[in-house]
Amino acid sequence: MADAQAAGRYAGAVDEALDRLAGVGFEFGPDFAMHAPMAAEALVALDHPDMVPSWIELNLRRRRSYDPPPPREPITDADPVARRAALGDYRRVTDWVAYFDRRLAEAPWRDVVVEWWPVLLDGAFAAFTHGLIRTAHAVRILRISPEPSRLQLNELARGLAYWAARHTPVRGPVGGAGEIPVTLATRVPVARVPAALSELTVVNAGLYAEFAPRPPVPAVHTVTAPAAVRLVLPILPDELWPPTYAAAEALAAQVWAVSRGFSGKGAPRPQGDPPPLDTLVEDAVEIGEEHAIKLAEACRREYALRPDPRYLAAAHTLNVNCRHEGGM
């Protein structure tokens, strides 16, 4: 009963957040994803539902979203060629939302995700991995909630639609002098996928803390994107686990490759041991920056499966940089 009550409270807090975010666009700049739905859900998962309303109000003042493009023409299953051509066309994002809203009204949400997962996985670099991450947060909402609500199903539709509209191919690791060394197996058997994901996230958390990239945000997705994949694994058939892991590894390598193109000034790398996990979470919540909240939540979740100080170091590094830059 306690678990059912907790799930009910979680669902209610998430629905309130999604209701407050109704009508908010997908982006606040060219390819800059609006993080409010993801970060609000992460705040609830971090046991801070009471902070969500004020956090959303502040976030929406700081991140003025662009209106999505108007509808163009319906996307249908009757014309798979035209449907495929709409992948990667952000002008069709509103059409994609309507398509997935319709599909989720016709079929169980798990079936829709499983059907579209291999199609979208090929384009998982969409919006710098945020199509995948937003979809994964929506999947967690529906997995935890006692009954799917209209708001929750629409959030899944919006995650899938954003992923489809920003569909961007995943490239493999990029070689070359100076590359940050991410050397992990690209194919693993089904039974090894959960452990391999832990290895992937902990290695990248350690690299993030070691290199303390400037600016600090882009490389965070070497941890949060693979960690988001884990949220979806329980609803995927076994045959999709190995290619999903391979995509997660390639995504992390691609994020590192792109992040090397940025340079800027930031706080020095934190010295000494990071604070305890609970303190890191409270620091991230107090700072209020979207990525600090999401990284703290992902690191807490991954740390529960594999207690390793590299997760703490990564969250601490981002918290310090966010404080240096003035938080949210």
The Cα-based distances of 267 to 135, 250, 264, 292, 320 in angstroms read 32, 29, 10, 15, 7
pLDDT tens sequence across 187-226: 799 999 999 999 999 999 999 999 999 899 999 999 999 9
SS3 28: strand
Taking phi over 0 as left and psi of -120 to 50 as alpha, with beta for the rest, 189 belongs to beta
DSSP 84-146: HHTTT-GGGHHHHHHHHHHHHHHS-HHHHHHHHHHHHHTTBTTTTTHHHHHHHHHHHHHHHSS
pLDDT greater at residue 73 or residue 174? 73
Encoded tokens for 318 = 């981002």
pLDDT score recorded for residue 267: 62
User: What is the model's pTM?
Assistant: 0.94
Cis omega before residue 181 (within 30°)? no
pLDDT band at 326 (very low <50, low <70, confident <90, very high): low
For residue 1, what pLDDT band results from cuts at 50, 70 and 90? very low
What would the pLDDT profile of 23-35 be if each residue is shown by its tens digit? 999 999 766 999 9
Confidence band for 171, pLDDT divided at 50, 70 and 90? confident
- First vs last Cα of the chain: how many Å apart? 37
Find out whether 88 and 166 touch, Cβ atoms under 8 Å.
yes
- Percentage, residues of the chain above pLDDT 70: 91
State the pLDDT at residue 175: 39
CA angle 34/40/46 to nearest 5° reads 140
Q: How confident is the model at residue 317 (pLDDT cuts 50, 70, 90)?
A: very high
270 vs 161, residue with greater confidence: 161
CA distance 77 to 114: 16
Distance of alpha carbon 101 from alpha carbon 247, whole angstroms: 26
Of the two residues 1 and 78, the one the predictor is more confident about is 78
Which pLDDT score, from 0 to 100, does residue 134 have?
98
Lowest mean pLDDT among 63-67, 175-179, 290-294: 175-179
pLDDT of 143 > 70? The answer is yes
**More confident: 261 or 258:** 258
User: What is the Cα–Cα distance from 327 to 217, expressed in whole angstroms?
Assistant: 12
Q: Is the pLDDT of residue 183 over 50?
A: no
pLDDT band, very low/low/confident/very high, at 182 (cuts 50, 70, 90): very low
Q: pLDDT per residue over 82-140, tens digit each? A: 999 999 999 999 999 999 999 999 999 999 999 999 999 999 999 999 999 999 999 99
Tokens found for residue 175: 């070689």
SS3 for 251?
Answer: helix
**Rounded CA separation 134/18 (Å):** 13
The per-residue b/e assignment along 141-163, b for 16 or more CB within 10 angstroms, e otherwise, is bbebbeebbebbbbbbbbbbbbb
Across the chain, what does the average pLDDT equal? 92
172: pLDDT strictly greater than 90: no
Please name the residue that has the structure tokens 């509808």: 71
Mean per-residue pLDDT, 40-67: 96
Q: Which pLDDT score, from 0 to 100, does residue 174 have?
A: 41
Contact 57, 27 (CB under 8 A): no
Instruction: Flag the least confident range among 27-36, 173-182, 283-292, 297-306.
Output: 173-182
The pLDDT of residue 325: 75
Please report, to the nearest 10 degrees, the dihedral formed by the alpha carbons of residues 267, 272, 276, 277 taken in order: 50
